[in-house]
Chains A and B, each alone.
Chain A
Amino acid sequence: MSKFTTDTVIGLEIHVELDTDTKLFCGCPTAAEEPNSACCETCLGMPGSKPVLNKKAVEYALRLCLALNCKINPSLIFSRKTYFYPDMAKNYQITQYEEPLGKWGSLPLDEKTSIGITRVHIEEDPAALVHPGSMQSSPFVLVDYNRSGRPLCEVVTEPEMTSPEQARDFMRRLITILNYLEIFDQQHCIIKADANISIKDSGYTRVEVKNITGFKEIERALQYEIKRQRDAVKSKEKIIFETRAWDAEQGMTFSLRSKESEEDYGYILDPDLVPIDITQEMIAHTRKNMPELAHDRIKRYISQHKIPEIDAKVIAEERKLAELFEKVAEEIDPVLAAQWLRRELVRVMNYTQTSFEQLKIDETHLIELLGMVEKREITDAVGKKLMEKLIEAGDKPFSPREHVKREGLGVVSDTAAIEKLCAEAIAENAQAVKEFREGNEKSFNYIVGQVMKKSRGKAAPKEVNEILKGMLE
């Protein structure tokens, strides 16, 4: 009997590159452009070299363990995982085997669902293999050791996800946590996942899909693989216990090897590295200096800023949005700020396909803009247009206040001016006026729209409503 009951069972092994300045066991920089320009005797595996642990990487990994509610092992122990491959500088990888830094954690997806974390451990990245042209066509392979020895954190989940959408949600939340923890730089650091997938129809025969980059890819790869397995079962093919790879370009998985021939890594403790005590003081210190995570921010936004829960969630789950909100809320009514950030900013970003990494807008311009909206110095319509302009301006920002002044976009609220616009609109839209007088309320809104259009969105809507109504009745 299988312990599983759902149609689909998914477990993930995620490799996160930690955003340290230097590599895990040597002083080489983690960032370098020119191939093989950031390597030394240690990350090249030269005879006589010895690894020295980067304490920053341990601190970062500890933050992640704590954020994922893991039990922390009192001792940090490294092992050697031995296998021969051209991207390996030593033909063994320094990783953690016997006892990971953290285990038995969890990551909540919503109030009801939480995904178990089996283990979180630290290991070194191998070098990068570069196949000029493509892997199939290139007669040779180049090795770039800049990547060799970069610090990775491996997060292994329990097989508790039941759909590709859930796996994507898990990845997205994990990335949010990594961003909040300031241990991962989405611009430069790589996040990769291996997924274990099985379906009920096959009797839960496990297939591993390796090398999925990013959280959008995970959904695609899993959707493909589940369909492949279902189709195979339907056409009476046998699903085998195997390792497959995800080809993002072709949007398909292909078989790498059957698990029957799975390698034996012959783990031993790495005798070059002494066990390091993870003391209660270290844990307490790390916990104390942990940035506030989404979960806590949502609660705080609701209680402190009295903003709606939906706004709080959307804002807190994206670090950049949360940071903008907190700065803006110091100057602007938080409810207004939350509403504008969640609805307008996100709407414009979606519309212009701007990602949060690409978003250049800063709080001073937002405060200016929303300040004018708050004080009704501009109308919402003008505010929305300005938001679009600010995002489109990218890294050439402008002052919204000066822009309003220069373009004469300030709100028009003096009665004489509005009356003049209303009179024009009534004269030009006789049909609509007639319909309104016959009892069609919608026609009134149409005439209001015409007035607003004449004012280029600047007329104060409340005043327009009152004056127009007075003039028509």
Chain B
Amino acid sequence: MVQEFINKVRSGEIDVVEHTKKVIAQCKELNAKYNCFTVITEELALQQAAAVKKNPKGRLAGVPLSVKDCLCVKGVESAAGSAVLEGYKPLFSATAVQKCVDEGAIIIGKTSQDEFGFGGFSVNVGIGKKVPLNPHDIERACGGSSGGSASMTFLAAGRFPHISLAESTGGSIVNPASFCGVLGLCPTYGRVSRYGLIDYGNSLDKIGPMALSVHDLALVQSIISGHDPKDSTSIQAQAPDFLPFLNKGVKGLKVGVIKELIGEGVDKSVKQAVQNAIGILKKNGAIITEISLPLTQKYSIPVYYLLATAEASTNLAKYCGMRYGAHEKLEGGFNEYFTNVRSTHFGKEAKRRIILGTFARMAGFRDAYYIKALALRTKITQEFKKAFASVDILVSPTVPTLALKFKDISKLSPLQNYLFDIMTVGPNLAGMPHLNVPVGKPEGLPAGMLLVSDHLQEGVLLQAAALLEHDLPSGNGKENSGSDASISAMNNFKTSKSSAKSVKG
């Protein structure tokens, strides 16, 4: 918990400048091994520390904050993990970042990610960037796309207080949180301003925190929430202080286990860990039922990939080497120049998603893919809404497996790769808040449980997570290696596979 540290900074017991220096030194050392950062912002951190030392009143006074690379930090290279944005130093900071800084947080660096968020393992990093490694086993992936944030959050355990700002489009907060064994909260769509976020899929993108304790998660979420006139999609509703939710317990809480997501296709060890956590909720008075989400199960993967890539393909159009980021020698007409810049600096997965998304919105295909996906998204949201009429929380594993080895990931086809998002794309499409809570370390690797609640009900997620955090043995052990996680299990998602065919056309 960062609270004790903050209190000491406020009272002057801790010299925040000296502390920050030590943290930066440790980050450099850790980064050399785990590649969590794209940039370590030593100079900025020391400036901010000096300011906090003078005025240590903020609610995050002196807390080291890592920020996913896709979030703009004024004057610091913010490239969303892409070579095409190399050297882009925004003239402004993202609202969420600024709110943390205003409360005394110290920015220590930008964390590595899949290029523009295009991935679930943080292996699709931009050209020339390094893949972040899982702190539990460096031969394994961190999950993605906020892999650097999750890895750093775990690595800070026992070393220094730390929180991270991550971002999710289809599961990019909870997925890496699960693989790395940390807490991650993806709030309701629109709860946190997207101003200053480098877009992936604007109707899906959400900024949320990662931390080692539910308290820290609640504290940061309280700070970054709220309407922002600079983001038209940020919601007007005033965010509550989330900290009071932590002591409420789960007595009488209605928990729905998502039927389709706890059966076939889930690793046995993950399933056991999740069922164990459900048992703890039940023991503490929660009412457990089973909920079926057939539409979500069948359509969420294709709907997500059509909508997210359609939006992404327009968002990425601006990267053409004219105003910022990577440039090439000016030769030929503008078409040749743009093509050269884009061919040279976008990674393979970015190109794949640009092509997929462009296809989905072209005349002749638009109605069959883009427009149909929009309609199905509404249906999926309605299915969630209906479920939340009878339960407070839905639960499932966060990812069907434990952290995968890089060598196994490389064997996955793009489609198998996309199917790993089966648990997380549903709530992301519906804009529902969701949270990963570590529920044990079977085989020495963290397993995660996904908690999902209705729009604007982040409080109840934190409430349940706080109980589990208290009653479960700590998942935050030291770095070690685990055994193989099964990927063959993925092939058991029969319904998903058949529906995914429509992606192919």
Give A contacts to B, CB under 8 Å: 41, 44-53, 80, 82, 84-86, 89-92, 143, 264, 266-269, 271-274
- Give the shortest distance, in Å, between A2 (CB) and chain B (any CB): 25
Q: Does B184 contact A (CB under 8 A)?
A: no
Residues of B within 8 A of A272 (CB): 199, 202, 231-233
14 contacts between A and B (CB under 8 A): A46-B91, A48-B90, A48-B195, A49-B195, A84-B317, A89-B318, A91-B320, A266-B361, A266-B363, A268-B361, A268-B370, A272-B202, A272-B231, A272-B232
Instruction: Give the complex CA separation of A82 and B314 in angstroms.
Output: 7
Which of the residues A45, A53, A266, A267 comes within 8 Å of B232, measured between beta carbons?
Answer: A53
Residues of B within 8 A of A92 (CB): 314, 317-318
| Inter-chain contact B318/A47, CB cutoff 8 Å | yes
Residues of B within 8 A of A273 (CB): 232-233
- Give the shortest distance, in Å, between B36 (CB) and chain A (any CB): 22
**Chain B contact residues (Cβ within 8 angstroms of A): what range?**
35 or more
| Inter-chain contact A47/B233, CB cutoff 8 Å | no
B201, B310, B317, B324 pick with most chain A CB within 10 angstroms: B317
Which residue of A is nearest B316, CB measured? A91
Which of the residues B78, B230, B324, B366 comes within 8 Å of A52, measured between beta carbons?
Answer: B230
| Inter-chain contact B361/A271, CB cutoff 8 Å | no
Instruction: Give the complex CA separation of A44 and B90 in angstroms.
Output: 12
Residues of A within 8 A of B231 (CB): 50, 52, 272
10 additional contacts (CB under 8 A) given A82-B317, A268-B311: A45-B323, A48-B72, A84-B334, A86-B334, A91-B317, A264-B363, A266-B361, A266-B366, A268-B310, A272-B233
| Inter-chain contact B323/A50, CB cutoff 8 Å | no
Which of the residues A47, A52, A90 comes within 8 Å of B229, measured between beta carbons?
Answer: A52
CB within 8 Å for A84 and B320 given contacts A52-B230, A274-B232: yes
Q: Does B456 contact A (CB under 8 A)?
A: no
Instruction: Give the complex CA separation of A461 and B203 in angstroms.
Output: 80
| Inter-chain contact B314/A268, CB cutoff 8 Å | yes
| Inter-chain contact A266/B358, CB cutoff 8 Å | yes
CB within 8 Å for A41 and B194 given contacts A90-B318, A91-B317, A266-B358: no
Which residue of B is nearest A40, CB measured? B91
Interface residues of B in 176-198 (CB under 8 A from A): 194-198
Residues of A within 8 A of B72 (CB): 47-48
| Inter-chain contact B230/A50, CB cutoff 8 Å | yes
Instruction: Give the complex CA separation of A86 and B333 in angstroms.
Output: 10
Residues of A within 8 A of B199 (CB): 47, 272
Residues of A within 8 A of B363 (CB): 264, 266
Which residue of B is nearest A272, CB measured? B202
Residues of A within 8 A of B198 (CB): 47-48
Instruction: Give the complex CA separation of A273 and B363 in angstroms.
Output: 23
- Give the shortest distance, in Å, between B108 (CB) and chain A (any CB): 20
- Give the shortest distance, in Å, between A389 (CB) and chain B (any CB): 55
| Inter-chain contact A47/B311, CB cutoff 8 Å | no
| Inter-chain contact B90/A46, CB cutoff 8 Å | yes
Which residue of B is nearest A145, CB measured? B323
- Give the shortest distance, in Å, between A22 (CB) and chain B (any CB): 14
- Give the shortest distance, in Å, between B230 (CB) and chain A (any CB): 6
- Give the shortest distance, in Å, between A229 (CB) and chain B (any CB): 28
Residues of A within 8 A of B85 (CB): 47
Instruction: Give the complex CA separation of A48 and B195 in angstroms.
Output: 6
Residues of A within 8 A of B334 (CB): 84-86
Instruction: Give the complex CA separation of A269 and B323 in angstroms.
Output: 25
Instruction: Give the complex CA separation of A50 and B232 in angstroms.
Output: 8
- Give the shortest distance, in Å, between B373 (CB) and chain A (any CB): 11
CB within 8 Å for A91 and B311 given contacts A48-B195, A51-B232, A268-B370: no
| Inter-chain contact B195/A47, CB cutoff 8 Å | no
Interface residues of B in 9-32 (CB under 8 A from A): none
| Inter-chain contact B202/A47, CB cutoff 8 Å | no
- Give the shortest distance, in Å, between A244 (CB) and chain B (any CB): 20
A53, A80, A89, A273 pick with most chain B CB within 10 angstroms: A80
| Inter-chain contact B362/A264, CB cutoff 8 Å | yes
CB within 8 Å for A84 and B90 given contacts A50-B232, A264-B363: no
Instruction: Give the complex CA separation of A266 and B324 in angstroms.
Output: 25
Q: Does B493 contact A (CB under 8 A)?
A: no
Residues of A within 8 A of B92 (CB): 41, 48-49
Instruction: Give the complex CA separation of A44 and B230 in angstroms.
Output: 16
CB within 8 Å for A86 and B232 given contacts A92-B314, A266-B362, A268-B311: no
Instruction: Give the complex CA separation of A47 and B322 in angstroms.
Output: 13
Which residue of B is nearest A269, CB measured? B374
Instruction: Give the complex CA separation of A82 and B313 in angstroms.
Output: 9
- Give the shortest distance, in Å, between A139 (CB) and chain B (any CB): 11
Residues of B within 8 A of A143 (CB): 322
Residues of B within 8 A of A82 (CB): 313-314, 317, 361
Cβ-closest 7 pairs across A and B? A91-B317, A271-B203, A271-B202, A48-B72, A266-B361, A47-B198, A48-B196
Interface residues of B in 84-111 (CB under 8 A from A): 85, 88, 90-92, 94
Q: Does B80 contact A (CB under 8 A)?
A: yes
Interface residues of B in 316-370 (CB under 8 A from A): 317-318, 320, 322-324, 334-335, 338, 358, 361-363, 366, 370
Which residue of B is nearest A262, CB measured? B363
Residues of B within 8 A of A86 (CB): 322, 334
Which of the residues A47, A53, A89, A90 comes within 8 Å of B90, measured between beta carbons?
Answer: A47
Interface residues of B in 268-314 (CB under 8 A from A): 310-311, 313-314
- Give the shortest distance, in Å, between B308 (CB) and chain A (any CB): 10
Interface residues of B in 223-241 (CB under 8 A from A): 229-233
Residues of B within 8 A of A268 (CB): 310-311, 314, 361, 370
Residues of A within 8 A of B203 (CB): 271
Which of the residues B197, B201, B232 comes within 8 Å of A48, measured between beta carbons?
Answer: B197
Residues of A within 8 A of B232 (CB): 50-53, 272-274
A268, A272, A273 pick with most chain B CB within 10 angstroms: A268
Which residue of B is nearest A86, CB measured? B334
Which residue of A is nearest B342, CB measured? A84
Residues of A within 8 A of B202 (CB): 271-272
Instruction: Give the complex CA separation of A53 and B306 in angstroms.
Output: 27
- Give the shortest distance, in Å, between A196 (CB) and chain B (any CB): 20
Instruction: Give the complex CA separation of A53 and B229 in angstroms.
Output: 10
| Inter-chain contact A47/B88, CB cutoff 8 Å | yes
Instruction: Give the complex CA separation of A169 and B181 in angstroms.
Output: 72
| Inter-chain contact A271/B311, CB cutoff 8 Å | yes
- Give the shortest distance, in Å, between A327 (CB) and chain B (any CB): 42
| Inter-chain contact B233/A274, CB cutoff 8 Å | yes
Which of the residues A45, A266, A269 comes within 8 Å of B318, measured between beta carbons?
Answer: A45
Which residue of A is nearest B338, CB measured? A84
Instruction: Give the complex CA separation of A391 and B197 in angstroms.
Output: 58
Residues of A within 8 A of B338 (CB): 84
Residues of A within 8 A of B196 (CB): 48
Instruction: Give the complex CA separation of A268 and B92 in angstroms.
Output: 28
| Inter-chain contact A271/B318, CB cutoff 8 Å | no
| Inter-chain contact B317/A90, CB cutoff 8 Å | yes
Which residue of A is nearest B333, CB measured? A86
Residues of B within 8 A of A51 (CB): 232
Write the B370-386 contact mask toward A (1 if CB under 8 angstroms, else 0). 10001000000000000
Residues of B within 8 A of A85 (CB): 334
Instruction: Give the complex CA separation of A271 and B189 in angstroms.
Output: 12
Residues of A within 8 A of B229 (CB): 52
Instruction: Give the complex CA separation of A211 and B362 in angstroms.
Output: 27
- Give the shortest distance, in Å, between B74 (CB) and chain A (any CB): 10
- Give the shortest distance, in Å, between A78 (CB) and chain B (any CB): 10
A50, A53, A80, A82 pick with most chain B CB within 10 angstroms: A50
Which of the residues A46, A53, A84 comes within 8 Å of B335, measured between beta carbons?
Answer: A84
CB within 8 Å for A80 and B80 given contacts A266-B361, A272-B233: no
| Inter-chain contact B318/A267, CB cutoff 8 Å | no
- Give the shortest distance, in Å, between A161 (CB) and chain B (any CB): 28
Residues of B within 8 A of A49 (CB): 92, 195
Which of the residues A44, A45, A50, A269 comes within 8 Å of B195, measured between beta carbons?
Answer: A50
Which residue of B is nearest A84, CB measured? B338
Write the B100-129 contact mask toward A (1 if CB under 8 angstroms, else 0). 000000000000000000000000000000
